[in-house]
Amino acid sequence: MNSFRSNLLANLAGTGWATLVQLACVPFYIRLMGIEAYALVGFHVLLLAVLQVFDAGLTTALNREMARRLADRREAEAMGDLARTLESLYWIAGVLLGAAIALLAPYVAEHWINPENLTRSQVVSAITLMGALVALQWPLSLYQGGLLGLQRQVRLNVLRVVFASASGIGAVLVLFLVSADIVTFFRWQGIVMAANVAATALAFRTALPRTVRQPRIDPGLVLKTGAFAAGVALISLFAMLLAQMDKLVLSKLATLETFGHYVLAGTAASGLLLFVTPLYTAVFPRLSSLVAAGDEDGVRALYHGSSQLLAVLAIPCAAVLALFSFEVLAVWTGDAATAAISAPILALLAAGSALNGLMHVPYALQLAYGWTRIGVVITLGQVALFLPLLVYSVQRFGAVGAAAIWLALNAFYLAVGLPWTHRRLLRGDARKWLVCDVGVPAAGALVVALMGRLLMPESMGRWGVAAYLVVTVALSMLFAFALSPRVRRGLFAPRPAAGVLA
């Protein structure tokens, strides 16, 4: 229990700092490089997300296997062998993917990206450097997944804070002092990424249990996780298409400037990951351990408590992002014209991201039980249904149409996935999740946020608006907390009976 709480707090601190650094640096990127160059930064993030399909579910499998085997010292050698085997595969895959991106850079610059101010040479150089970053990112994701499964999340988040600071703040300094150029930006990111990979690899290797012999490559261990990894790989493929198809379609059909405004709104909406990602990364390995131990009471307590905590933390922020989208963007960027264009996009993306975030704990439950079929079926159905709608919506309504589709597909997943999950796992708990864990605190948060919208004074300075938004979020979160008994008991009870927030 103490380990879980430490991991959760470390994840909140690490992800929170990384997210805040990213958000704080974006206005400087746009001011120094321009919106088109910032769109290429968004294209790099999109590229990384798309390439995750080649992960084939192995990072998640490593996380789960490390968590399941951690309590049994007899599994130490198998853990080391699995880590060494996957490490070799990931380095090879990373180098191959990076080289492919570098080779395709001229074609992508000519036929996919639509710049109006950047030169073709700048775009080609930037995409080539993206290939180098991909080659390094690939093994980094494996090392991070291993540390999560080994419950070394405090160590991982120390590294996250250090390298997020170097990546964001360092990039601003380099752009200001050296050259405000997109190529310079990506060169700096490559230096930071190389150092991050080396430090994280060392942390992972030293966290593995000691063994008599050196770890060796054993493909048989990978094959044993094949069914689970294959299911996760299919889910990842379809989930990637769902999460990124709006950006893929926009990057092709819209101008680079329009895509830049969409990336800006998406970056603001991704602030919800400040709460979603830390909770998921702490809950998934803990649920896997409880399922392996056959502790159903512990699973149920952790599941409901974590779901309610996520609602208390994420819903108030999502409500304020949606209802005050223009004010958030104007305060953040200092540019009212940019905020006016991106505000309707942010409102829709924030609502969709809130629904997406709430389903992370049920998804962690599915993976902890090794049940991947539901994710495969639902995400496949979403792709088939919403991809044609997305193309039509973008052609008809532009970036706002893409954001509306993101909201619709997440509402669909909640409506179908939640009841199906509870018919198979934790039978009879669907209503408790929907009403008690999420519905009541969400209703309280929305009431406060709506009152804040209605009562907001008309004339306030930039920092006055910022203070008003912070107070509105705090009051909304406080009201949601007051309506969440599981969270109150979990935070103030010295020893919960089972799980966390029991």
In a domain, 252, yes or no: yes
Tell me if 238 is assigned to some domain.
no
Q: pLDDT at position 221, please? A: 57
* Max CA separation in the chain (angstroms): 70
Total domains in the chain come to 2
Packing angle between helix 336-358 and helix 256-269, nearest 10 degrees? 50
Among the candidates 165, 190, 224, a domain finishes at 224
Find the domain containing 10 and state its range. 1-224
321 plus 382 within the same structural domain: yes
> Is 237 within a domain?
no
257 contacts 9 by C-beta, under 8 angstroms: no
Q: Tell me, yes or no, whether 317 lies in a domain.
A: yes
pLDDT (0 to 100) of residue 289: 79
Decide: helix, strand or coil at residue 272: helix
Calpha distance 167→329 (Å, rounded): 23
Task: Please report the pLDDT score of residue 10 as a whole number.
Answer: 80
| 243 within a domain of the structure (yes/no) | no
Helix axes 336-358, 360-368, angle to 10 degrees: 40
The reply to whether 233 falls in a domain is no
DSSP-assigned letter for residue 496: -
Query: For residue 337, which amino acid is it?
Result: A
Q: What is the pLDDT along the chain (502 residues), one digit of tens a residue?
A: 456 677 777 877 887 888 888 888 888 888 888 878 888 888 888 777 767 666 545 566 666 666 665 555 555 566 667 777 778 878 888 899 889 988 988 888 777 776 777 788 888 898 899 989 988 888 888 888 778 777 777 888 899 899 999 999 999 999 989 888 889 999 999 999 999 999 999 988 887 767 656 766 766 655 565 555 555 656 666 666 666 677 778 777 777 778 788 888 888 888 787 788 888 878 887 888 788 778 888 888 889 988 999 999 999 999 999 999 999 999 988 888 889 999 999 999 999 999 989 988 998 898 888 887 777 788 778 778 888 888 888 888 888 888 998 899 889 888 888 888 888 888 888 889 999 899 999 999 999 999 999 999 887 888 899 999 999 999 999 999 999 888 877 654 444 444 445 4
Let me know if residue 178 belongs to a domain: yes
User: Do residues 373 and 472 share a domain?
Assistant: yes
Within a 10 A sphere around the Cβ of 464, how many other Cβ atoms? 12
Residue 276: per-residue pLDDT: 86
Q: Answer with the one of 192, 224, 256 that is the final residue of a domain.
A: 224
> Is the CB of residue 403 less than 8 Å from the CB of residue 348?
yes
The percent helix, strand, coil of the chain (3-state, each to 5) is: 85, 0, 15
Q: Which of 26, 22, 41 lies closest to 251 in space, CA to CA?
A: 41
Do 96 and 178 share a domain, yes or no? Answer: yes
Query: 339 and 261 share a domain?
Result: yes
Block residue for tokens 């493909």: 219
Looking at the structure, tell me whether residues 145 and 10 fall in a common domain. yes
Handedness of CA 368, 372, 375, 378 (dihedral sign): negative
Distance between terminal CA atoms of the chain?
A: 11
**Per-residue confidence (pLDDT) for residue 496, from 0 to 100:** 44
Does 461 lie in the same domain as 383? yes
Distance CA 299, CA 137 (A): 33
Q: What is the pLDDT of residue 479?
A: 92
Kindly state the tokens that stand for 207: 């966290």
The pLDDT value given to residue 45: 80
Q: How far apart are CA 502 and CA 487, in angstroms?
A: 8
Claim to verify: residue 135 and residue 3 sit in the same structural domain = yes
Same domain, 153 and 19: yes
Instruction: Please tell me the number of Cα atoms within 13 Å of 412 on its side-chain side.
Output: 18
**Do 340 and 210 share a domain, yes or no?**
no
Instruction: For residues 327 and 448, state if they share a domain.
Output: yes
My answer on whether 269 and 381 are in the same domain is yes
Q: Is residue 149 within 8 Å of residue 62, measured between CB atoms?
A: yes
Q: Is residue 232 part of a domain?
A: no
Distance CA 307, CA 288 (A): 16
Q: What is the pLDDT of residue 174?
A: 92
Containing 285, the helix (H) or strand (E) segment is: helix 273-293
DSSP assignment letter at 106:
H
Compute the distance between CA of residue 360 and CA of residue 351 in angstroms, rounded to an integer.
Answer: 15
Do 30 and 75 lie in a common domain?
yes
pLDDT at residue 493, as a whole number: 46
Q: At what angle do helices 325-333 and 462-482 cross, to 10 degrees?
A: 130
pLDDT of residue 230: 56
Last residue of a domain, one of 166, 190, 224: 224
199, with CB counted inside 10 A (0-12, 13-18, 19+), is: middle
